[in-house]
Structure 1
Amino acid sequence: MSDLARRDELAANLDAVRRRIEAAATAVGRDPDEVTLVAVTKFFPASDVRLLAELGVTDVGENRHQEAQDKAAACADLDLRWHFIGGLQSNKAAAVASYADVVESVDRRKLVAPLNRGAHERSHEIEVLLQVSLDPPGREGRAGADAEDLDDLARAVEEAGMLRLRGLMAVAPLGEDPSAAYDRLSRIRADFVAARPSADLLSAGMSADLEAAVKAGATHVRLGTAVLGPRPRN
């Protein structure tokens, strides 16, 4: 596909996504401008990131460290905010801090010290979202901290000099109605923000369930397929 054809495809996809966000926000009395699109570019080339930037995308999400690092370096001349949204290993956390502006997947204390060290080495404050699990008790599923552990984890982030606690992130459990899952998330978030009013960001919702996430108060939606199309085979 030519660059022009790909640009046209991405432009059409973005228009459709922005209309979905606008409709979802308007339906619950929210300002659509309160909802930030994070374009998830996993498996797609840096050339697509450049086209997205031309089309007004400002926030890009990646969930694999090496790919994210390489893509951020290739697009360093662009004014983009890079979100790391994947499962994070403690031995990679400092390296992730070398390019990420936002780390959305902090789910245990062990990640805090290396992230803080990496941010110090970069001399760049990192925004942090705590990933909370929405899985029912006793069921293995998505990553994330248990809701009752969020206060302890939040204190660890707040005590780190180069990390700024901004809010929560979650993924709806597989096989469950996302509306029910995001209702639980909304209640968890209400308690969290009551104790920490400045940590009011909420990253939730993907291509299939962004409407339910926006209804539950998401300030960021992480969209891959809806923006970029089916993932290419590696």
Structure 2
Amino acid sequence: MLTYTAERAEELKHNLIRVQERISRAEQDYSGSRNAQSHKVELTVVTKFFPVTDVFALYHAGVRSVGENRDQEAHEKAYAIEPMIDPQDSLRWSFIGQLQRNKAKSVVRYAHEVHSVDRLSLVDALAKAKAQCAQDGAESRVAGSLSCFVQVNLSADSGDNSSRGGAVGDDVFRIAERLEQCEGLSCAGVMAVAPLGGDAERSFETLYGISQELQEHFPQAWEISAGMSGDLEEAIRWGSTRVRIGSEIMGSRC
């Protein structure tokens, strides 16, 4: 049985409301790419390093999209919470971290989305794993295609030498094309992280331009996964449809 304290539930709810208010205000900013007809921005709460009881509390607070970046932790949480929630109103699990090909078989069994597809070999591994998962039937917890975001590297001109991963140039379009060719996979759009120490505004404007170009070839790939606790306003200003928020909601891990 999963249990959480009333105090922790209240803390998470308070933080969640505060972030939702930030998102709502940012949605009204039309100084970038947004306008009155733009899509509502969806919140994915990043629950990595926090217990599954926190995920359960967030579910009761109305959260339906959570993100993780370590396969083992995500796998354990997804399977632990599954019996506790309404199957008609379930959680959507997103894998948001750099993914090794040997983890693909595990990830496709619980994840509805992968936000970090950055190379063709990973596409092929996910397609193979998804096909095997479909054959297994009962072992798969996720029906339908796996929604994939092409991770774009925005660090080239920023001086950020950290290893964030991501495709560059024409590789973005090659990956999207391969995703659309593979049964069981689909290209949802693009994802990126603003470079450390860089201009987030400029980076997300660049990502928006890449997204627009991608949609010329793949109209269904319209989503942009961008924006975290420190830069969600800039990301939303430039077209983000999905923000990934961790510490602003979960707090600091002791």
Q: How far off is 1:147 after superposition?
A: 2.9
| Of 16, 19, 32, the match for 2:21 | 19
| Of 81, 84, 96, the match for 1:85 | 96
Counterpart of 1:71 in structure 2 is 77
The answer to whether the Cα contact below 8 Å between 1:171 and 1:204 also exists between their aligned partners in 2 is yes
Counterpart of 2:12 in structure 1 is 10
CA distance in 1, matches of 2:247, 2:38: 21
Shift of the 148–139 alpha-carbon distance from structure 1 to 2, 3 Å rule, reads farther
CA distance in 2, matches of 1:198, 1:221: 19
CA distance in 2, matches of 1:200, 1:114: 24
* One-letter amino acid of the structure 2 residue matched with residue 80 of structure 1: L
Q: Deviations over 1:40-68 (max 9, x none)?
A: 00100000000000011010000011101
The answer to whether the Cα contact below 8 Å between 1:26 and 1:32 also exists between their aligned partners in 2 is no
TM-score by length of 2: 0.87
CA distance in 1, matches of 2:36, 2:176: 27
What residue ranges of structure 2 are gaps of 5+ in the alignment? Answer: 135-142
The answer to whether the Cα contact below 8 Å between 2:42 and 2:241 also exists between their aligned partners in 1 is yes
Counterpart of 2:149 in structure 1 is 129
| Of 127, 136, 140, the match for 2:161 | 140
* One-letter amino acid of the structure 2 residue matched with residue 204 of structure 1: A
What residue ranges of structure 1 are gaps of 5+ in the alignment? Answer: none
TM-score by length of 1: 0.94
Counterpart of 2:210 in structure 1 is 188
Q: How far off is 1:76 after superposition?
A: 1.4
After the TM superposition, which parts of structure 1 deviate over 4 Å for at least 4 consecutive aligned residues?
Answer: 30-33
Instruction: State percent identity of aligned pairs.
Output: 41
Counterpart of 2:252 in structure 1 is 230
CA distance in 2, matches of 1:32, 1:75: 33
Q: How far off is 1:104 after superposition?
A: 0.6
CA distance in 1, matches of 2:161, 2:247: 25
Counterpart of 1:217 in structure 2 is 239
CA distance in 1, matches of 2:38, 2:23: 6
Q: How far off is 1:140 after superposition?
A: 3.2
* One-letter amino acid of the structure 2 residue matched with residue 81 of structure 1: R
CA distance in 2, matches of 1:102, 1:210: 20
Q: Deviations over 1:134-180 (max 9, x none)?
A: 01258633210003211111121111101011111000000112111
Comparing 144-153 and 79-88, the one that deviates more? 144-153
